Amino acid sequence: MNDHRADMEETTLRGEELFRRVAGDFIGLDTTYPVASGQTTRRIYLDSTASTLMMGAAHRAITAFLEHYANTHSLLHNSAWLATRAYAWAHERILRFVHADPEQYTCFFTGSGTTAGVNRMARVFRDLQPERDTVLVSIMEHHSNDLPHRKHLGRVIHLPVAIHKDGMGCVDTKALEKLLEREQKRVNYVAITGVSNVTGIINPIGEIARLAHKHGALVLVDAAQMVAHIPVQVSGHTDAAKDVDALIFSGHKTYVPGSPGVVIARKEHLSQLEPEEVGGGMVERVFTERYTVSPKFPDREEAGTPNIPGAIGLAVAIEVLDRIGMDFLVEEENRIINYALDGLKSIPEVEVYGSTDTIACPRAASISFNVEGVHHSLVAAVLNDYHNIAVRNECFCAHPYVIEMIPDQAAEYIAMSDEDLAASGLPKPGMVRASFGLYSTRADADALVKAIKDIILNKDTYLPLYQLAETDHEFRHVTFSLDPASYSIPNLVDNALEIGEQ
Ligand SMILES: Cc1ncc(COP(=O)(O)O)c(C=O)c1O
């Protein structure tokens, strides 16, 4: 914030040049861990779908802002004025990024991710149209865009996906239209993910919104995996029926861990109801027997003190993404996804899930797969322990979708009661997921492909080195693990206090 010359230089950078600078400037790109062979190597982070790494520029902006930190909702001392202005800018910046008309839409922050926002909007839509008790979701959904609708609305119908010759594709819009016709009077809204957190398959949000609106239903988009990866357009479509009613995403998946969840929603809907959450900051006048809710957005939707530094950091990251250009970022990501897909598909023992025809069925961020004859948990463990590659495994909080893609592996699991499953000690069905962010490189994809080949070649050597842990039924190395003393919390505190360094 003090270095104006650096700021000016930054504003002249755009596109590829800025991309190169930003891509190499994330916290955690140089993190090292010891591996089972005894060496210490650089971690390769392929778990961005769960949470991305922290963008250096956003982190520095948060640190600079903290010099001026004060609570918002006051303009009278300098820091409160600065904080209030910066926090207002964060809302406005995000609305602009997702192309949401600020006259019609508000942006508010809630919770620590998408889950809080989906729960919130499910209750809003329920109360807005109480006569409509049904939600259509797709089979692709993360539990966070499925269970809130089951709990708050009651009746949820799962839409199938289209089947391509090489695997499952995006939501089947013909099936959606049939269901909308059949359930016409009961469908309150359609809740759909923009991008699957399992296969990375992208849904045709505009078309889904058009169909839903044609049949009198609202549309909620789970954009948790969209905002950092593909351009988003909430409103302003030539066909206004394609504009969505609510769009929700997570700051921690958009390059700013520690930032809040974001809801973009039509003010028209929200203003008809008392806000879901009440407390300070959202009221005009309070007496012992009554209170009046503020008509102002987003204030009325943000009871209590918000995560001000997190929201500002997120808006900074979004400003950076916009300066690079989402069209540029999409192309970059397509290149790396296709490169990684080609590498994985070249291994006969690897099965990649979902259609891999990325022209007919575009993808972003995630690739999930299994290796024939090697359990997904063992693959993930060996990738970590021997190759220092961080991936995720199992069902990624999208059980119905994953189970549908691996019916053979899942049959026994589905048939068992919860008690029998717990007693059986059987590992859970699932997949391995490698996921990418703007800092991911071809070298990361190469390392993954090389490591998978090593696992296939040496599976009989690796297997005896592992056993299934009783606690979580995952494979754990018999002798190797990180030394807990080196990563203890007291050490973290001591280092933060710079104790022992005087
Ligand atoms: C598609 C999708 N929706 C919702 C969520 C839940 O997000 P959060 O954990 O940030 O609430 C996730 C998290 O992985 C996701 O990938």
What letter does residue 201 receive in the DSSP assignment? B
Domain that residue 194 falls in: 63-323
Mean predicted lDDT score pLDDT of the chain: 94
* pLDDT classification of 179: cutoffs 50, 70, 90: very high
Asked whether 197 lines ligand 1 (CB < 6 A), one says yes
Look at residue 6 and tell me whether its pLDDT is greater than 50. Answer: no
Q: Are residues 287 and 145 in the same domain?
A: yes
What letter does residue 230 receive in the DSSP assignment? S
d(CA 216, CA 129): 11
- Whether the CB-CB separation of 392 and 420 falls below 8 Å is answered with no
* CA–centroid distance, residue 11 to ligand 1 (Å): 32
d(CA 186, CA 217): 9
Mean pLDDT across 149-157: 97
Q: Are residues 376 and 472 in the same domain?
A: yes
372: CATH: 3.90.1150.10
Distance of CA 393 to the CA centre of its chain: 16
Q: Are residues 367 and 462 in the same domain?
A: yes
| Domain endpoint, select from 260, 288, 323 | 323
Q: Are residues 277 and 180 in the same domain?
A: yes
Share of the chain above pLDDT 90, in %: 85
Q: Are residues 69 and 157 in the same domain?
A: yes
d(CA 236, CA 239): 8
d(CA 233, CA 342): 30
Asked whether 250 lines ligand 1 (CB < 6 A), one says yes
Look at residue 5 and tell me whether its pLDDT is greater than 50. Answer: no
Share of the chain above pLDDT 70, in %: 97
Residue 141 lies inside a defined structural domain of this protein: yes
Q: Are residues 312 and 335 in the same domain?
A: no
Residue 251 lies inside a defined structural domain of this protein: yes
Residue 41 lies inside a defined structural domain of this protein: yes
DSSP lists the bridge partners of residue 350 as 371
Q: Are residues 123 and 174 in the same domain?
A: yes
Question: What is the per-residue pLDDT for 501?
Answer: 55
Asked whether 144 lines ligand 1 (CB < 6 A), one says yes
Mean pLDDT across 260-287: 96
* pLDDT classification of 500: cutoffs 50, 70, 90: low
In this structure, which amino acid lies at residue 367?
Answer: I
Q: Are residues 317 and 409 in the same domain?
A: no
* Choice from 52, 112, 144 to test ligand 1 binding pocket (greatest atom count within 8 A of CB): 144
Residue 492 lies inside a defined structural domain of this protein: no
Q: For residue 112, give Cα distances in angstroms to 109, 257, 258, 261, 408.
A: 9, 9, 7, 5, 36
Residue 20 lies inside a defined structural domain of this protein: no
Residue 380 lies inside a defined structural domain of this protein: yes
Q: What are phi and psi of 202, to 5 degrees?
A: -95, 130
pLDDT digits (tens, 9 = 90+) for 86-121: 999 999 999 999 999 999 999 999 999 999 999 999
* CA–centroid distance, residue 444 to ligand 1 (Å): 24
* CA–centroid distance, residue 272 to ligand 1 (Å): 28
Q: Extract the tokens encoding 401.
A: 């979708």
Q: What are phi and psi of 486, to 5 degrees?
A: -75, -20
d(CA 153, CA 13): 48
Residue 286 lies inside a defined structural domain of this protein: yes
Q: Are residues 333 and 318 in the same domain?
A: no
Q: Among 101-105, 150-154, 182-186, where is mean pLDDT lowest?
A: 182-186
Q: Are residues 312 and 342 in the same domain?
A: no
pLDDT digits (tens, 9 = 90+) for 294-345: 999 999 999 999 999 999 999 999 999 999 999 999 999 999 999 999 999 9
| Domain endpoint, select from 294, 323, 352 | 323
Look at residue 36 and tell me whether its pLDDT is greater than 90. Answer: yes
Q: Which long-range contacts (CB under 8 A, 24 or more apart) does 230-233 make?
A: 230/194, 230/195, 230/202, 230/326, 230/330, 230/364, 231/326, 231/327, 231/330, 232/97, 232/98, 232/99, 232/194, 233/98, 233/99, 233/206
Look at residue 201 and tell me whether its pLDDT is greater than 70. Answer: yes
Question: What is the per-residue pLDDT for 484?
Answer: 85
183: CATH: 3.40.640.10
User: Total structural domains in the chain?
Assistant: 2
| Domain endpoint, select from 301, 323, 345 | 323
Question: What is the per-residue pLDDT for 4?
Answer: 40
Is the whole-model pTM more than 0.85? yes
Q: Are residues 236 and 356 in the same domain?
A: no
Question: What is the per-residue pLDDT for 71?
Answer: 96
Asked whether 142 lines ligand 1 (CB < 6 A), one says yes
Asked whether 146 lines ligand 1 (CB < 6 A), one says no
* CA–centroid distance, residue 142 to ligand 1 (Å): 6
Q: Are residues 341 and 450 in the same domain?
A: yes
Question: What is the per-residue pLDDT for 494?
Answer: 84
Question: What is the per-residue pLDDT for 502?
Answer: 52
Query: Kindly report the CA angle at 82 between 76 and 84, in degrees rounded to 5?
Result: 80
Mean pLDDT across 340-363: 96
Question: What is the per-residue pLDDT for 336?
Answer: 97
- Whether the CB-CB separation of 276 and 295 falls below 8 Å is answered with no
d(CA 473, CA 274): 46
Residue 8 lies inside a defined structural domain of this protein: no
Catalytic positions, please? 397
**DSSP for 300-352, written as a single string:** GG--S---HHHHHHHHHHHHHHHHH-HHHHHHHHHHHHHHHHHHHHTSTTEEE
Q: Among 9-18, 237-246, 370-379, where is mean pLDDT lowest?
A: 9-18
DSSP helix/strand/coil, 107:
strand
Question: What is the per-residue pLDDT for 487?
Answer: 85
pLDDT digits (tens, 9 = 90+) for 398-407: 999 999 999 8
